[in-house]
Amino acid sequence: MNDEKTEIFTASVTSDSPEDSKIIADAVGKIAPDAISRLKSKATLKIVDYAQLPTTPSAPNVKKYVILAFLGGLIISLAISFIKEFLDKKMRYSEDMISVGDIPILAAIPKFDSINNSNNKKG
């Protein structure tokens, strides 16, 4: 019966510079076989994949996050405005009163804010 056990070692390097990460990973790949064989007597280490220089940043994906934030803000703001409109029970137009009460309107009270503001500016 074969009593050998296979162990897998993974070396992962993270830095701001992809070139530095590759240099460090290559150095670990050169040094690791000798170091591990000194620690374990019958160990043989074989490099399966060598470090490759990445072509794109792994994180953060700024374009994706900006689009998600924009869509999230748009959805939240639309939801809030629809909820406020749905929960608003005020009658703003004479058509609302006719449809609710089926009573004709003889007169409506105008909004006096614009009249009061023009009088304050004159005086």
Same domain (yes/no): 25, 77? no
Same domain, 51 and 66: no
- Co-location of 2 and 47 in the same domain: yes
Between CA 92 and CA 55 the distance in angstroms is: 59
- My answer on whether 40 and 80 are in the same domain is no
Angstrom distances, CA of residue 67 to CA of 25, 58, 72, 77, 81:
34, 18, 8, 15, 21
- Tell me what the mean pLDDT of segment 19-47 comes to: 82
Q: Does 8 share its domain with 51? A: yes
71, 117: one domain: yes
> 79 with 115, same domain?
yes
- What is the extent of the structural domain holding 71? 62-122
50 and 66, same domain (yes or no): no
Exposure string of 76-115, with b = 16+ CB inside 10 Å and e = fewer, is eeeeeeeeeeeeeeeeeeeeeeeeeeeeeeeeeeeeeeee
Q: What percent of the chain has pLDDT over 70?
A: 81
Domain ends where: 30, 55, 80?
A: 55
For the chain, the domain total comes to: 2
* Same domain flag for 70 and 108: yes
What's the CA gap between 101 and 30, in Å, rounded? 87
* pLDDT score recorded for residue 19: 85
- pLDDT tens-digit series, residues 56-102: 777 788 899 999 999 999 999 999 999 998 898 777 666 667 777 77
In this structure, the answer to whether residues 47 and 73 fall within a common structural domain is no
Residues 12 and 38 in one domain: yes
Q: Are residues 51 and 93 in the same domain?
A: no
